[in-house]
């Protein structure tokens, strides 16, 4: 056997393994979400390097959604500019990724967008300083199954286009911008 044939054969398992890893990564990177339909569900958008921040009208009211229509949530255990969602929390509440430059606000969206640099080196979109997340339990664009859940050490709230948290689970929806005072001094 020639040296060239031997080198080719010795690389075959390596190439097969690399191909398998790439296929697995592609399969895991998929999404059940489609882009918001043009039926009017998304009413405005803000451009970013990773897509757009849109708004959608849901049972909770008019809320912020990502470019794929996934509802954006704020976590009451966070503080402005700091994420308390780590480890297993991130399995259920993935951070909304951010580009180096945050999106600019479109008509009707008055929240100020920014970028949080997470300890793992990734970036996360913020709205009025609060880290933004999606929820794996939302089965379709605009779903709000995470609204008002008490998970991973705190409550989760959808966010209005003004950056205020919508803290009611009913259809009337009232908004509050920060967690201070909402929990009767319980320390949240």
Query: What is the tens place of the pLDDT at every residue in 124-155?
Result: 999 999 999 999 999 999 999 999 999 999 99
User: 64 or 50: whose pLDDT is higher?
Assistant: 64
User: 36 or 125: whose pLDDT is higher?
Assistant: 125
23 pLDDT more than 60: no
* Residue whose token pair is 């009413």: 43
Measure the CA–CA gap between 130 and 80, rounded to whole angstroms.
5
pLDDT band at 65 (very low <50, low <70, confident <90, very high): very high
User: 119 or 31: whose pLDDT is higher?
Assistant: 119
* Per-residue pLDDT tens digits for 78-113: 999 999 999 999 999 999 999 888 776 666 899 999
Q: Which residues contact 70 (CB under 8 A, 6 or more apart)?
A: 33, 134, 135, 138, 141
As a residue count, the chain comes to 188
Q: What pLDDT score does 28 carry?
A: 36
Q: What pLDDT score does 61 carry?
A: 94
Predicted TM-score (pTM) of the model is: 0.67
pLDDT band at 7 (very low <50, low <70, confident <90, very high): very low
pLDDT band at 51 (very low <50, low <70, confident <90, very high): low
Q: What pLDDT score does 106 carry?
A: 61
């Amino acid at each position: 056997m020639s040296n060239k044939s031997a080198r080719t054969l010795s690389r075959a398992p390596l190439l097969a393994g690399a191909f398998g890893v790439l296929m697995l990564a592609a399969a895991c990177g998929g999404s059940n979400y489609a882009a918001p339909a043009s039926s009017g569900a998304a009413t405005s958008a803000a451009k970013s390097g990773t897509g757009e921040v849109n708004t959608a009208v849901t049972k909770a009211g008019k809320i912020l959604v990502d470019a794929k229509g996934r509802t954006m949530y704020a976590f009451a255990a966070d503080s402005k500019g700091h994420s308390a969602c780590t480890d297993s929390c991130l399995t259920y509440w993935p951070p909304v990724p951010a580009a180096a430059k945050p999106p600019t606000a479109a008509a009707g969206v008055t929240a100020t967008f920014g970028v949080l640099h997470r300890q793992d080196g990734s970036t996360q979109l913020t709205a009025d300083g609060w880290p933004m997340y999606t929820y794996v339990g939302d089965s379709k664009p605009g779903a709000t199954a995470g609204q008002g859940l008490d998970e991973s050490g705190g409550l989760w709230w959808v966010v209005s286009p003004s950056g205020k948290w919508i803290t009611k689970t009913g259809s009337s929806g009232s908004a509050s911008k920060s967690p201070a005072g909402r929990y009767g001094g319980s320390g949240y």
